[in-house]
Structure 1
């Protein structure tokens, strides 16, 4: 009698098995060695492992505080202490018959991922073959003969003075060919259609220059020049630790993209001390020739599978006042008779001017006459700038002022110092200790937590010189009315001056400005300068004079915030941090340029220049929120969408994180609506629906320059948040009232109807 296992029953009959599949449990069975070799593409595997090794090295070479030598030591340790032992195990397994020859070959290819990149030289060659790296060019500024030892004998040795120029054409090609970059540029390359002034392309100077070039695609480039100190300034090598950093960016890109330092590219480095000894023509002629070639001949890039020729024009030379004047061969001293780069008002006139005199504007013809006169004290022009060799560019057309230095580190610093001295020392409305205590207990909020200033010292007030960074003075000025405003009488003239200063700051910090607002700006500047002289019995400083020109600057060159030096100076951080762990005291500029080349390769490799406007990569799906009560309309909408939507914890829009409790405002056609985010829904197409509570305006408090607001309990559904400009903010509680610190240049009592789900 046969056993039950040997007698198949009718229900136990199974379909015929597939050749390589167990049909009982649907598990793949091992294929033969010959089939393995066909399934796995050895060449593709090699390329994949090579890309992984490139990504591994670039990740650690991108770290500012890690010397390049250490990265290759880490790679060597991974190879010898992890991959090599595994390779020995695989070889043993093959020897005893546990692994086939073909499988061993595959493993060897994997373990050899670092072959050909053992040294930095080999790794650079690997990057070159992958079109990720071009060696920075070291050019000779001057050849110097210095005493030295040659072949064990004393003699005169050639000691060239050099600078570093990055491969700008290569950088621009790879940058524009990166995902989303060129599309974003094209979307923002034409002037705004709604009449608002935003970037350089909305300015009259660019439009006039662009009209003279007969090319389909012309992209502006702004170059930023600034000196920074890399190491200990009292060391024996202190003179060689100050570096001139040269960066560039495309100014028509949206602000949230330019805020990312990866989109500010390194153009070169040179020692600051060389600038003092050599002429700008010696220092920048190579850069100028590159810019001429980019303008005249353009650059060919691959876009959507076709070759496209793109031309580039120098927009503006940017930086602080001293730096821009020096780069353009204009007088650098702020006490010079004709210091201003835009007009020819003399020093005595500038110290009193509250308005702009257009008839004194510098012109190209006037510049040529100044060169012939050759008298810097009466012209403000040292010599013809090397940048005037660029066909479409001229120094006179470089209408640029820096908001960071002129406003926050200039006008605001002067004004706040006088105000504090008046409130504390003269009128004794409050003490310095009370001011610091109020500042320390004030809740600045998450969007301002990193820029809270330190306590103000009495010596700072006596000397009328407050020591703060631009970000810290910006934070203090912005929230000063909510910190101390309730202690000051409403009819105080100095407080009236301060409120006028706040309005001035508000307009200048806007990312989009309507031309009609420029008349208001001119009026605010005139009032501010007049009050400053009358109330404080003080003359106007050069930075006060610069502010007079800002209305014309905006009309001709675009909004100042879009081109300010804040992010350019932030770019110094990479070089500063790396120089502290780098021991190259002979040619620090070369070390910095190599590091910059690696960081650029890392950004190209990871396509990290432009991210989607709404980023859901870090979002997590949540359960239905039980702690939120929806009204019938919202609940019904969610019920109808329930099968096709998920609740998520957060998303990122233009660099700002939105999550439960985030307060933000939406602006459209000069209308502002404020909301608090309750929860976020995402459908199958990754479209977002935000459940928000409206925050309504009760009134505008003129004394505190703030809106008094209140929260409603009526949720609303916002469906198209990506189509509107949004900003995350904080609401502040003062004396049991809620305030939104914002000047009243926008309408708050109207609703943006197109925001909501019907």
Structure 2
């Protein structure tokens, strides 16, 4: 059997698997990819067991009943000399190679067991459960070793004492792989040696008196409590990141800027005018995120007791497709949310700022670069409440000055809908410094123009909170404005008696949202309560908003102003959720937001616009300063919270416990990180002559006669399957769609093959593209890395009509970029 890596021939499936483990260092994990290359077979596997089973069932002609005992150890590097009689005549070189083989085999087995134990810890199992599992497995392996030794000794005659002694000595050298992992201290030591994890450091915030119940007397005593938080040194984390060559290679700038087009932070004004980033193109662009989350999710009076605050960071040097992976979202600090009320937030920021000052001045030495790499914070993102608390602004959005971008009074939010209005005074670095100075001079003042205190981040050389342009469209739009306005439109449908409440709920429940959105379909919405939302999460809100025209468009007249308000919001959403924008689109966005807010006040004069409506007027300028604001949203950061929520916790020192668990898991996953994130679904090998797209596939893949045809794949977390729609290009300001019919895979290359679709028009009333299969049945083959927009679409239809036209609902604005 042939090794797909080095093309060496092995005698059987077990020898091939051992060769891959010992010679090439393949270990089980998320990124394990094993390829069968026997007789042109191209099946891919993610486990050794599946790979071995395939070899033993599909390629039986290669299986040997007996392992060849005369294999040269030096050439193969993994054969065990089974004939004991020949051991005495084996050369010293062969003995040395065999001993080295045993050491490598033991080490490989130990690494596999360590990875398995680390994955159990990452899944949230308690320390006692992990200890019990390791102890049980230690006994199991010990019993297997004992049985194997007894079986080997029984094969020898009682008089063959020499060979019996050799076998017993060999088994004594065979280590139990779970013994070095049978305690928490041993496991931590092994994980640190194997993966080099960055240990969290406990920092003291201060001391205070707290009431604690005395179990003996039953009374409450005043005790001194020392409040601490866990800080993970960012400089050490950066060093550990770039130990992986693939991650270090991604640091090299590859993005090519295009005038007037915003696809990345590098295209925007903030980057181009930065005294650091504009000069040192490979400097580290650190994006911070801050948010609070519940670890126990209790109800009632104990809610908030175990609420934690977390500061994460990502490197904007990496493409967004890699930063969406939770492996590339790193922990900076973990603290009790209640401590923010007791102490100054700057105490938590202090160790981080000290490290960042070193990074700004002295820099970091990375092996692949000859020069020192400097860096600093490029932007800080989070929800509005979190950013206001971090930056020192008022945390009440009922305050007179509650906008961190301008000095417009809240009462004027209902009449001023554009930054161009002369009443809108934008905050500047100098203005913010003056406000902070005034507060420090007179501490009796509650705040000055919405500023409560200075932020320690402003002591950095290359960052200031006044030039932080990040906004979160997840909280502003999906959990704020969208649900607020969709609720008003649905109430309008009920008031006009177009539907009753049960019919409306029935439509939302029965509508076909398509395969992509089946997990995000909205449940029963809240319409008659007094809240401003529908009771949906962000993805459910996005799903309902995008499909509102197809759901209810048949009931509404084309000139209905309430419907026009919804369509204006959809146009705004498509622009702000776009990964690529132009200067012209930011100007168009400004006018859309102005028209939308003005129409809202005309239709609902007694209802106030939300503060989130006001934040939207700053979106166009923010896009010109930092590029697409989609890359700033909180969705992936908040997904990171799930790691801490699912862990079994000791609440005695929860921040340190969770931080240590997180760092162990990050070290494990980071070591095996690869840029190729491809998961294959079931499929089969297909000859190119059997495919209509065969000639096109051959012209791309080269000299191949067959490919692996998968039913579905996941590429960087996005699922593609047959009958889904992809956007291949944008021509004449209209997207060109293609219906996937075949997914062809060769090694790590993927081609999406299908039939071209004709985009007939964009139906404004239904806010969707009307499409049909191209009458000429044009075949299209596209490399998955060349997709114009990476998300696939579903073909959908309007609700409750006899019109069987097909529609594709957009999730962003399609723009021709080349």
TM-score in terms of structure 1 length: 0.86
Is residue 119 from structure 1 mapped to residue 183 from structure 2 by the alignment? yes
Task: Look up the match of 1:38.
Answer: 96
Task: Look up the match of 1:192.
Answer: 257
Q: 1:688: how far off?
A: 4.4
- In 2, distance between residues paired with 1:377 and 1:207? 33
TM-score in terms of structure 2 length: 0.80
- In 2, distance between residues paired with 1:67 and 1:545? 46
CA shift in 2, pair 1:310/1:72, >3 Å = farther
Task: Look up the match of 1:4.
Answer: none
- Counterparts of residues 223-234 of structure 1 (less than 5 Å): 223-234=288-299
- In 2, distance between residues paired with 1:630 and 1:163? 61
- In 2, distance between residues paired with 1:355 and 1:638? 50
Is residue 559 from structure 1 mapped to residue 641 from structure 2 by the alignment? no
CA shift in 2, pair 1:448/1:181, >3 Å = same
Find 2:757's aligned residue among 687, 695, 700.
695
Q: How many residues align?
A: 714
**Secondary structure of the equivalent of 2:367?**
strand
Task: Look up the match of 1:324.
Answer: 387
CA shift in 2, pair 1:155/1:90, >3 Å = same
Is residue 296 from structure 1 mapped to residue 361 from structure 2 by the alignment? yes
Is residue 724 from structure 1 mapped to residue 787 from structure 2 by the alignment? yes
Q: 1:105: how far off?
A: 4.8
Task: Look up the match of 2:741.
Answer: 678
CA shift in 2, pair 1:111/1:662, >3 Å = farther
Find 1:48's aligned residue among 101, 108, 113.
108
- In 2, distance between residues paired with 1:179 and 1:263? 14
- In 1, distance between residues paired with 2:325 and 2:812? 30
- In 2, distance between residues paired with 1:597 and 1:640? 44
Gaps of at least 5 residues in structure 2 are 1-67, 73-78, 157-162, 440-444
- Counterparts of residues 608-757 of structure 1 (less than 5 Å): 610-612=674-676, 615=678, 620-624=683-687, 630=692, 643=705, 645-667=707-729, 672-682=735-745, 687-712=749-774, 714-725=777-788, 726-734=790-798, 735-742=803-810, 746=814
**Secondary structure of the equivalent of 2:190?**
helix
Task: Look up the match of 2:323.
Answer: 258
Do 2:688 and 2:707's aligned partners in 1 also have CA atoms closer than 8 Å? no
**Secondary structure of the equivalent of 2:228?**
strand
Task: Look up the match of 1:365.
Answer: 430
Task: Look up the match of 1:573.
Answer: 642
- In 2, distance between residues paired with 1:477 and 1:662? 21
**Secondary structure of the equivalent of 1:586?**
helix
**Secondary structure of the equivalent of 1:333?**
coil
**Secondary structure of the equivalent of 1:287?**
helix
- In 2, distance between residues paired with 1:62 and 1:119? 17
**Secondary structure of the equivalent of 2:581?**
coil
- In 1, distance between residues paired with 2:518 and 2:493? 26
Task: Look up the match of 1:487.
Answer: 555
Task: Look up the match of 2:342.
Answer: 277
Find 1:523's aligned residue among 581, 588, 591.
591
Judge which range, 194-203 or 224-233, deviates more.
194-203
Q: 1:33: how far off?
A: 3.0
- In 1, distance between residues paired with 2:695 and 2:295? 60
Find 1:243's aligned residue among 308, 331, 337.
308
- Counterparts of residues 59-208 of structure 1 (less than 5 Å): 59-64=119-124, 66-80=125-139, 82-92=140-150, 98=156, 101=165, 104-145=168-209, 158-188=224-254, 192-193=257-258, 195-208=260-273
Task: Look up the match of 2:564.
Answer: 496
Task: Look up the match of 2:486.
Answer: 416
Is residue 384 from structure 1 mapped to residue 428 from structure 2 by the alignment? no
Q: 1:212: how far off?
A: 7.0
User: Residues 75-130 of structure 1: CA distance to partner in whole angstroms, max 9, x if unpaired?
Assistant: 111001x1111222344457667465555555445442123322111211122222
Gaps of at least 5 residues in structure 1 are 1-17
Q: 1:191: how far off?
A: 6.0
Q: Which has the higher contact order (CA 8 A, sep 6+)?
A: 1
Task: Look up the match of 2:63.
Answer: none
Task: Look up the match of 1:221.
Answer: 286
CA-atom RMSD, angstroms? 3.4
CA shift in 2, pair 1:504/1:100, >3 Å = farther
**Secondary structure of the equivalent of 2:379?**
strand
- In 1, distance between residues paired with 2:364 and 2:429? 29
